[in-house]
C-alpha cells in the first residue's frame, strides 16, 4: 500500500458551501484540515490556530519573501490569505489526506506547484441561490455582497474553463455534495495505491 498522502483542494465562490463540505470530508476521511494564514482581524467566535493563523501584514510578507507559502493571495482587495507549505508537506509525507479550503487563485497556484493535488470546484446550483446564501449568512453589507457576487461570477468562469480542476461538485444538496467529494477522494487514493 502506498503511504503517500493526498492533497485535496476545495475551492469555489463564497457561499458555495465549500467550507461545510471540507469540514465534513475532514471528519469522514479522518483527514487533516489545513489552517490558512490571514491578515484580516479575528471575527467573534474564531480561534487563532484553529480557524486561521492571524498575523500582521508585515509578518505575512516576511513569510512570502522566505517562500513559506504553498499559495497566497489578496482577496477582495483587502486582506491576504495563504497556506503555509511546511505543515502541508509534513502531513502528506505521513500519508494523510490534507484538505485545503481556498479560493480559485490559490487553487491555481497549488496546481502549478503540486500537480498531483486533487482539485474540486464547488458550485452553487445557480446565481439566485448563491445570492440567497450570501445574504442569509448575515455578515456582509450590501456593497460586500455585490462584490462577492461579482467575484463569484469570475471564479465560476475560471473554475469551469481553466482546465485546472479534476471535478466539479454542484452543491444543491449538501449531503450529496459531501458524499461526492469523499468518493472522489477515495477513488484517487485507490488509484494511487493500485
Give the pLDDT confidence score for residue 19 in this predicted structure. Answer: 92
Give the pLDDT confidence score for residue 151 in this predicted structure. Answer: 86
* Domain range annotation of the chain: 6-193
Question: What percent of the chain has pLDDT above 70?
Answer: 96
Q: At residue 43, what are phi and psi to the nearest 5 degrees?
A: -90, 160
Give the pLDDT confidence score for residue 44 in this predicted structure. Answer: 82
Q: What are 74's strand-pairing partners?
A: 80
Q: How many residues does the chain have?
A: 194
The model's pLDDT over 42-86, given as tens digits with 9 standing for 90+, comes to 888 888 888 889 999 999 999 999 999 999 998 767 899 999 999
The model's pLDDT over 144-174, given as tens digits with 9 standing for 90+, comes to 888 888 888 899 999 899 999 999 999 999 9
**Are 169 and 21 a contacting pair, CB within 8 Å?**
yes
Give the pLDDT confidence score for residue 2 in this predicted structure. Answer: 45
Give the pLDDT confidence score for residue 81 in this predicted structure. Answer: 94
Res 107 pLDDT > 50: yes
Under the phi-then-psi rule, with left for phi > 0, alpha for psi from -120 to 50, and beta for the rest, what region is 141?
Answer: beta
Q: What are 82's strand-pairing partners?
A: 37, 72
Higher pLDDT residue, 180 or 142?
Answer: 180
CA distances from 13 to 62, 71, 85, 124, 133 (A): 28, 17, 23, 8, 11
Element (H, E) at 188: helix 174-193
Quick one: three-class SS letters along 71-126? EEEEECCCEEEEEEHHHHHHHHHCCCEEEEECCHHHHHHHHHHCCCCEEEEEECCC
Give the pLDDT confidence score for residue 193 in this predicted structure. Answer: 44
Res 194 pLDDT > 50: no
Element (H, E) at 153: helix 142-161
Res 192 pLDDT > 60: no
Give the pLDDT confidence score for residue 3 in this predicted structure. Answer: 53
6-193 is classed in which CATH architecture?
A: 3-Layer(aba) Sandwich (3.40)
Amino acid at each position: 500500500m502506498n503511504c503517500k498522502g493526498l492533497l485535496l483542494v476545495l475551492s469555489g465562490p463564497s457561499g458555495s458551501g465549500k467550507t461545510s463540505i471540507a469540514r465534513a470530508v475532514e471528519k469522514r476521511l479522518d483527514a487533516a484540515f489545513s489552517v490558512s494564514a490571514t491578515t484580516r482581524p479575528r471575527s467573534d467566535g474564531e480561534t487563532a490556530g484553529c480557524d486561521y493563523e492571524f498575523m500582521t501584514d508585515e509578518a505575512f510578507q516576511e513569510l512570502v519573501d522566505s517562500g513559506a507559502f504553498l499559495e497566497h493571495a489578496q482577496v477582495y482587495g483587502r486582506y491576504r490569505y495563504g497556506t503555509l507549505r511546511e505543515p502541508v508537506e509534513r502531513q502528506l509525507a505521513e500519508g494523510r489526506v490534507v484538505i485545503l479550503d481556498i479560493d480559485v487563485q490559490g487553487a491555481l497556484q497549488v496546481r502549478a506547484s503540486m500537480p498531483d493535488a486533487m482539485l474540486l470546484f464547488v458550485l452553487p446550483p445557480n446565481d439566485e441561490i448563491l445570492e440567497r446564501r450570501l445574504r442569509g449568512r448575515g455578515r456582509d453589507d450590501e456593497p460586500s455582497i455585490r462584490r462577492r457576487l461579482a467575484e463569484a461570477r469570475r471564479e465560476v468562469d475560471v473554475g469551469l474553463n481553466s482546465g485546472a480542476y479534476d471535478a466539479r461538485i454542484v452543491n444543491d444538496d449538501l449531503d450529496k455534495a459531501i458524499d461526492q467529494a469523499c468518493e472522489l477522494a477515495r477513488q484517487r487514493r485507490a488509484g494511487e495505491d493500485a
